[in-house]
């Protein structure tokens, strides 16, 4: 698919990991020229360059931009259920399939009403016109 793409990760079944997904309808309305792709981070997909991701980030208080994946600490992986977006992105990087990564991190405790304007602001800064 050509054009602007933003990958959205999260789990609709877990309230602490569902905020990025709950923002999707408003983001799609605000940015009609952008393809927001809700993906399972553990499935196979071809990352664009740059890869723009909206995902839940534990340990932050406000929506913020992260350049790259090296700033994140990996969660322990004990079983197949423990594999997450970061693990898959690191795997893609190791395979040489990952270019520049920009993560818009949203804290799990933030309400959708509080998160939406901040996510919109960050997207306006990083998406090409």
Q: What would the CATH number be for the domain defined by 4-126?
A: 3.40.50.1450
Dihedral-angle region of residue 21 (phi above 0 means left; psi in -120 to 50 means alpha; beta otherwise):
alpha
Tell me the mean pLDDT in the region 14-40: 93
- pTM of the entire predicted model: 0.85
Mean pLDDT of the chain: 85
Structural domain boundaries in the chain: 4-126
Determine the distance from the C-alpha atom of residue 32 to the mean position of all C-alpha atoms in its chain, rounded to a whole number.
18
Read off φ and ψ for residue 45, nearest 5 degrees: -155, 155
Q: Which residues contact 58 (CB under 8 A, 6 or more apart)?
A: 107, 108
**Residues 32-71: tens digit of each pLDDT:** 999 999 987 777 788 888 999 999 888 889 999 999 887 7
For residues 16 and 68, what is the distance between their CA atoms, to the nearest angstrom? 23
């Amino acid at each position: 698919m050509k054009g602007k793409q933003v990958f959205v990760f999260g789990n609709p079944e877990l309230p602490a990991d569902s905020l990025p997904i709950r923002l999707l309808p408003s983001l799609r309305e605000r940015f009609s020229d952008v393809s927001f792709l809700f993906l399972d981070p553990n499935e196979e997909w071809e990352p664009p360059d740059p890869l723009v991701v909206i995902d839940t980030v534990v340990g932050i208080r406000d929506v913020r931009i992260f350049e790259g994946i090296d700033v994140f600490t990996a969660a322990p992986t004990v079983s197949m259920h423990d594999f997450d977006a970061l693990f898959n992105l690191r795997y893609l990087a190791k395979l040489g399939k990952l270019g520049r990564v920009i993560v818009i991190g949203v804290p799990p405790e933030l309400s959708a009403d509080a998160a939406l304007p901040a996510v919109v602001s960050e997207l306006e800064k990083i998406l090409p016109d």
